Amino acid sequence: MARLRRAEDDLDAALVLVGEAVQVYVGDYTPSLRPVPAVRARLQIYRGELSLAAGWVTAAGVSAEDDLTLLREYEHITLVRLLLAQYALGQRDDAKLRDGLSLLNRLLAAAEAGRRGGSVLEILVLLARAHQLRRDPTTARDCLARAVTLGETDGFVRVFADEGDALAPLLTALAKQSDSRYVRRLVAATGTRAIVASPTSLVVPLSDRELDVLRLLGSDLGGPAIARELSVSLNTLRTHTKSIFAKLGVNSRRDAVRQAAELHLLSRTPDR
C-alpha cells in the first residue's frame, strides 16, 4: 500500500504507512532485501527530510566503504540517494559526491555480475544523476542512455519518474536524438511542465502563504506538523502544496525544494 501511495506521489500517506509497518514488523530467520527502515529513509529523502534519513544511516551502520552484499544492496543504494540529495540540496561536499560515485560504480559491477537487471537499471539512473551533479553531461547522458536501453525492454517507467524533473534535461536531450516513443513517455513521466519562465521568475508567482508552505517543505517537518505550524487543516496544506507543485512544474517535495533553491525563492521575504 505504501508503494502505491508513493506511486501516486502522496508521500505523507506513504510515510505514515511505512511508519506503522516499522512498529508492527517482526523479523524472522529470513533476512529482508528491503528493510522497512531503509524504505522509510527513502521516503524521507524524497520529502527532503535529509537529517532524518541521515539518522537512519547511523542507526543502520551503513557506509560507502562497506563490503557489498546482496542483503545490503538496497540499503547501500539508499545511502547513495541520500549523498546525492545532500549535494543537490546545498550541502556541496565534494567528498560526499565522490563517495557516492565510488559506491555506485562498485554497486554496478556487483549487480551486473549477479545479473540483477532491476538493480543495474536503478544504479545507472543514479550514476546519470551523479555525473549530472558533477557537471559531466556527456558521461551523464551515456549512463542514462544505457538505462533507457535496459528499461525499454520491459517498459520500466517508475525508476525514471521517481527522480522527478532532475532527469528532464538529460531525457529531453535523448528525445531530440531519437524518435522513440518510450523516451517520450519517460520525458512525460518526469512531470516536467513549461510553467517556469526563466531561472529567476515564474509565470504564476507563489502567494505569500505558498511561500510559507514552501519554506516548511524544506524543513524536516512532516505534513501534519507543517499544518499545525501554519494553523491550517491538512487538506488546506495539501491544496497549497499541489498549487506550489503546479507553479514550479514539479511533482514531489524534494523537487519543489530544489527548484525553489534554484529560483532563490526561499531567500525572499513575503510581502505582508
State yes or no: pLDDT of 7 exceeds 60. Answer: no
The answer to the question of residue 131 being in a domain is no
Structural domain containing residue 214: 196-262
The answer to the question of residue 216 being in a domain is yes
CATH number at 258 reads 1.10.10.10
Query: Grid coordinates 514531489 are at which residue?
Result: 252
pLDDT of residue 199: 38
More confident residue, 171 or 10: 171
The answer to the question of residue 242 being in a domain is yes
The answer to the question of residue 14 being in a domain is no
Average pLDDT (92-116) is 93
Average pLDDT (223-241) is 90
The answer to the question of residue 235 being in a domain is yes
Model confidence pLDDT, tens digit, residues 38-93? 999 998 888 888 888 999 999 999 999 999 999 999 999 999 999 998 888 776 77
Share above pLDDT 70 across residues of the chain, in percent, rounded to a whole number: 80
Buried-exposed string 67-102: b where 16+ CB fall within 10 A, e elsewhere: eeeeebbbbbbbbbbbbbbbbbbeeeeeebbebbbe
State yes or no: pLDDT of 29 exceeds 60. Answer: no
pLDDT of residue 105: 97
Lowest mean pLDDT segment, chosen from 221-225, 230-234, 256-260: 256-260
The answer to the question of residue 219 being in a domain is yes
More confident residue, 95 or 74: 74
Instruction: Kindly tell me the burial class for residue 28, based on how many C-beta atoms sit within 10 Å of its own C-beta (0-12, 13-18, 19 or more).
Output: exposed
State yes or no: pLDDT of 266 exceeds 90. Answer: no
Overall pTM surpassing 0.85 (yes/no): no
The answer to the question of residue 155 being in a domain is no
The answer to the question of residue 145 being in a domain is no
Contacting residues for 138 by C-beta, under 8 A, at least 6 apart: none
Give the count of domains, the chain: 1
